[in-house]
Amino acid sequence: MNQNELFEKSKCMVPGGVHSPVRSFKGLHTTPKFIKEAKGAKFWDTDGKEYIDFCMSFGPLILGHQNEEVSVKLKEQLDRGWSYGACEPYSLDLAEFLVSKLDFIDQIRFVNSGTEAVMTAVRLARGVTKKNKIIKFNGCYHGHLDSLLIKAGSGLAGTAEASSAGVPASIASDTLVLELGDLNAVKEVLENNKNDVALIAIEPLPANNGLLPQDLEFLKGLRSLCDEYGALLLFDEVISGFRVGLGGMAAKTGITPDIVTYGKIIGGGLPVGAVGAKKEVMEYLAPVGPVYQAGTLSANPLAMVGGLSTLTQLTEENYKLLENNTLKIVALFKKWFKEYNNGQFSHLNMVSESSLFWIHPGEAPKRACDIPANLADEFYTLFEILLEKGIYLAPNAYEVGFVSLAHNEAIISELEQKLFS
């Protein structure tokens, strides 16, 4: 079956033909590519067409596809079994590694996804503070739990409504949504909801709705406001954790969050999430404390081994290499924007941070509300031209690009050839 036939078949069995909406190529003329194999910085669709992959499973594959060492460790684990539903040493090794690298946490609990990690963090914050409301920021994504599928409302600062059907208004009313960068609005909302805000949740490097790096002063301000009003600060580092460096944004900014969530890279491409905090906070979780949380497959040994063998390959040197290669890749794209088809894309630009990049027109926006509304229309044309050339970006204008250690010099020259041929 060709790509279209596979998609037609998939649409019969699966809503929209996909298991996660961003994979659907919605708005594009092309149907989604069915990938049959991947290695290094590339993957191949079922027709055999080759792509340089800048989506990298939306972030987890910081070493590239099928990293040799991870592959060996996974195969060894397969021979020992892949789920015990009991204590095992593999999650202990990963927990020990993480706690040793993250001096702002004492304990960690593993779950199966970023969403689950954030869901646990929210319940934990409410259990610890005995307060109900949470603050989030427009343009930050925290997974698909009800209480964070919330967008800004049209009323006063902080008012919000569900961004998905099926989320009750009663749940939406406990989430307050603000614009990034506006500390005064945060203070005002905390003041108006005195003694009722359990948690301020933020992606310290917002990277799910464009790449919107924040000023250090704003992040520091959130820390002081949390202290002043008795709310907990959640750094949702599901993307930024182990992406911007070993300690994530918490180490990079020197700001200590009360709770931190991880996912993506810490599983190396297998399903893992984690929530971490100081012992006083973590011990609110069952079985020690009153906040319930559980998981049949949590700390699945295969995922634990995949995660640890990914993380142990991330040296300072490798982070430098990732950043340097990203800058080279960004420079190539920018040059191509200027030159392609007499400057068809010359108004486009690229912002990057560590090994993440994002295409945007004009000046880099800092808030979701500053992103031009027609961003998607233009992106579709660009995406399809690149796809044809064998360059695969995440199929959505608001998603960032991910560079891995497999995007080496050889791949960069291949990219140059594909772009300019």
Residues in 188-217 at the binding interface with ligand PLP, rule: CB under 6 A: 203, 208
The region of 69-77, 139-147, 188-196, 243-251 touching ligand PLP under the rule CB under 6 A is 139-147
Nearest approach, Cβ of residue 145 and ligand PLP (Å): 9
* Residues in binding contact with ligand PLP, number by CB under 6 A: 15
- Other C-beta atoms closer than 10 Å to the C-beta of 130 total 8
Q: Are strands 35-39 and 42-45 parallel, antiparallel or unpaired?
A: antiparallel
Q: Identify residue 348 by its one-letter amino acid code.
A: L
Three-class secondary structure of residue 341 per DSSP: helix
Q: Of residues 56, 178, 239, 281, which one binds ligand PLP by CB under 6 A?
A: 239
Q: Which residues contact 36 (CB under 8 A, 6 or more apart)?
A: 44, 45, 46
Answer yes or no whether residue 263 interacts with ligand PLP by CB under 6 A: yes
Quote the least distance from Cβ 59 to ligand PLP, whole Å.
7
| Whether 264 is catalytic | yes
Does position 114 bind ligand PLP by CB under 6 A? yes
Minimum distance from residue 239 beta carbon to ligand PLP (Å)? 4
Q: Using DSSP, how many helices (H) and how many strands (E) does the chain show?
A: 13, 16
User: Contact region for ligand PLP (CB under 6 A) — 113-121, 186-194, 347-355, 400-408?
Assistant: 113-121
| Spatial CA neighbour of 65 closest among 43, 45, 46 | 43
Smallest gap from Cβ 205 to ligand PLP, in A, equals: 9
Nearer to ligand PLP, 201 or 419 (CB): 201
- Whole-angstrom Cα distance, residue 195 to residue 61? 41
Q: Check 42, 53, 136, 141 and give the catalytic one.
A: 141
Applying CB under 6 A, which of residues 31, 67, 115, 326 lies at the interface with ligand PLP? 115
Dist CA 36 CA 93 (whole Å): 32
CA pair distance 161, 169, nearest whole angstrom: 7
Question: For residues 244 and 252, what is the distance between their CA atoms, to the nearest angstrom?
Answer: 8
Closest CA to 54 of 390, 334, 286, 421: 390
Least distance between ligand PLP and beta carbon 290 (Å): 25
**In terms of DSSP H, where are the helices of 55-140?**
68-78, 89-101, 114-129
Between 299 and 411, CB nearer to ligand PLP: 299
**Given 136, 264, 366, 418, which residue is catalytic?**
264
Confirm or reject binding of residue 236 to ligand PLP (CB under 6 A): yes
CB-nearest residue to ligand PLP: 114
Which one from 236, 284, 366, 398 is the annotated catalytic residue?
236
Residues 6+ apart with CB under 8 A from 120: 109, 111, 261, 275, 285, 293
Rg (CA), the chain: 21
Among the listed residues 142, 360, 367, 418, the single contact to ligand PLP using CB under 6 A:
142
Say if CB 222 and CB 196 are below 8 A apart. no
Binding part of the chain for ligand PLP, among 85-93, 136-144, 193-201, 375-383 by CB under 6 A, reads: 136-144
Closest distance between ligand PLP and the C-beta of residue 118, in Å? 6
Alpha-carbon span 202 to 136, nearest angstrom? 6
> Do residues 95 and 298 touch, judged by C-beta distance below 8 A?
no
Instruction: Identify which range of 135-143, 249-257, 284-292, 402-410 contacts ligand PLP by CB under 6 A.
Output: 135-143
Q: Measured from the CB atom, is 234 or 419 closer to ligand PLP?
A: 234
How far is 137 from 159, CA to CA, in rounded Å?
12
Build a one-symbol-per-residue string for 273-312: x at contacts with ligand PLP by CB under 6 A, - elsewhere: x---------------------------------------
Residues present in the chain in total: 421
The span from the CA of 172 to the CA of 309, in Å, is 39
Q: Is 182 a catalytic residue?
A: no
Instruction: Work out whether 143 is an interface residue with ligand PLP (CB under 6 A).
Output: yes
141 is catalytic: yes
User: How far is Cα 110 from Cα 91, in angstroms, rounded to an integer?
Assistant: 8
Contact range with ligand PLP by CB under 6 A, out of 68-76, 141-149, 214-222, 251-259: 141-149
Q: Least distance in Å: CB of 104 to ligand PLP?
A: 17
Contacts to ligand PLP by CB under 6 A: 113-115, 118, 141-143, 203, 208, 236, 238-239, 263-264, 273
What residues are annotated to the active site? Answer: 141, 236, 264
